Structure 1
């Protein structure tokens, strides 16, 4: 027994994902399913019984965010400060470089399920394993894609033992780091859209109270109060219309 070897674990996950497999990995907010191919994403989507209004998520780190996202300098500084100076997890939505080689081999339906109106959402500061894995994926020009490791509607899982058996069954590798850092929050990452003239909250999540305080304190930006878990358990302030391609996918049994 002893401390986990994050670099070795990231390499093991990378080898599985780059070969077309599916991984379950810990982030600081909960366990996630991760892959990089359309076939794996479709398998995950159907197993999760995910709604057609949902989108695929992208895992990353600050370096990948800088490489892919196209942002106003003042918004870039906010992201840098929140994620680097204050070490807060954050899902960033922003315009992105659509010609980047990372997206070269992704088919159109998958890109439609990954992006919204020319924007891309990426989780930054998901933890040491995600940061290391994102570096490997970045070097290989492969996207790190997925969503939470759960059946939709059953809540984020904070320990491997709570992950639904159907989800565990589709994974080619499971990295178990025990209870995740922000498990007590009961929500996923806070998601902010930086594609417009001012930041817009899409989802209230982990560390939202700290993010709200810092946006007001340092940039005089007001964002909505958190109505609480009982009033808004998902944290979502915005929902997307269903995609036809995902409706077809979830209708196939």
Structure 2
């Protein structure tokens, strides 16, 4: 049975964050708030946890398009190839924010993602998510618990999320009501930015 931990986004309690980080380090799965929908995440370095998330999603791990949730731009550069000036300007202008950026991966990618040419990177504008990643010391691999077919209530209400997921994950963070719109996905791996999915983030800046 998962723990249900209340954390206030205005001033995340360091002790509560540390509890969740311990769970992540031990290979646990965590549902946490972002600036869009709630996410399901684990430590990027834990193979067993990555495999668990892939199983939950019903996909093979090497085929999974998970996002890497990073703390800041320097965190991103650990996993992607040299960022060109134009791309860097876009990232700097948009992050933290409700975007997933697809960028060419580098050789530091965990072995499970080595075959991938590109990775999706997120720096959400949510202090709980950013603090988790900062304390963990490396990115969280994440996928949304968003239901593509119907805008159902459980995607936004932490108590309903807990009801649905309590026997599947190790922690559900109650960080207040989430959004029911996913992030905007922008592919920056080609010559021009390409909008893959329009979500919460405005595409006007591209």
Q: How many residues align?
A: 192
* Counterpart pick for 2:201 among 202, 207, 211: 207
Mapped to 2, the partners of 1:22 and 1:3 lie a distance apart of 20
Mean Cα displacement is larger for which, 2-11 or 170-179? Answer: 2-11
TM-score, normalised via structure 2 length: 0.78
Mapped to 2, the partners of 1:25 and 1:57 lie a distance apart of 14
1:25 to 2:19 alignment: no
* Counterpart pick for 2:177 among 160, 179, 186: 179
Q: CA deviation at 1:166?
A: 5.0
Q: CA deviation at 1:154?
A: 5.5
1:158 to 2:156 alignment: yes
**Aligned alpha-carbon RMSD (Å):** 2.9
Contact 2:186–2:195, Cα closer than 8 Å, also in 1? yes
Mapped to 1, the partners of 2:174 and 2:51 lie a distance apart of 24
The higher radius of gyration belongs to: 1
In structure 2, runs of 5+ residues without a counterpart are 1-5
TM-score, normalised via structure 1 length: 0.65
- Equivalences for residues 87-166 of structure 1 within 5 A: 88-98=97-107, 100=108, 103=109, 106-107=110-111, 110-111=112-113, 116=116, 118-138=117-137, 142-149=138-145, 153=149, 157-163=155-161, 165-166=163-164
Q: CA deviation at 1:51?
A: 8.3
Contact 1:62–1:125, Cα closer than 8 Å, also in 2? no
Name whichever structure is richer in helix by fraction. Answer: 1
Q: CA deviation at 1:57?
A: 2.1
Contact 2:157–2:177, Cα closer than 8 Å, also in 1? yes
Q: Name the SS of the counterpart of 1:162 in structure 2.
A: helix
Q: Which has the higher contact order (CA 8 A, sep 6+)?
A: 2
Q: Closer, same or farther in 2 for the Cα pair 1:62/1:93, shift >3 Å?
A: same
* Number of the residue aligned with 1:231: none
Contact 1:58–1:145, Cα closer than 8 Å, also in 2? yes
Q: Name the SS of the counterpart of 2:155 in structure 1.
A: coil
Name whichever structure is richer in strand by fraction. Answer: 2
C-alpha distance after superposition, 1:34-88 (max 9, x if no partner): 11222222223323445886422211132312443332111110110122xxx53
* Counterpart pick for 1:55 among 65, 88, 91: 65
Mapped to 2, the partners of 1:67 and 1:88 lie a distance apart of 19
C-alpha distance after superposition, 1:166-208 (max 9, x if no partner): 533122122101212xx1xx32111111111111112211123
Contact 1:89–1:206, Cα closer than 8 Å, also in 2? yes
Runs of 4+ in 1 over 4 A off after TM superposition: 1-5, 50-54, 150-156
Contact 1:92–1:124, Cα closer than 8 Å, also in 2? no
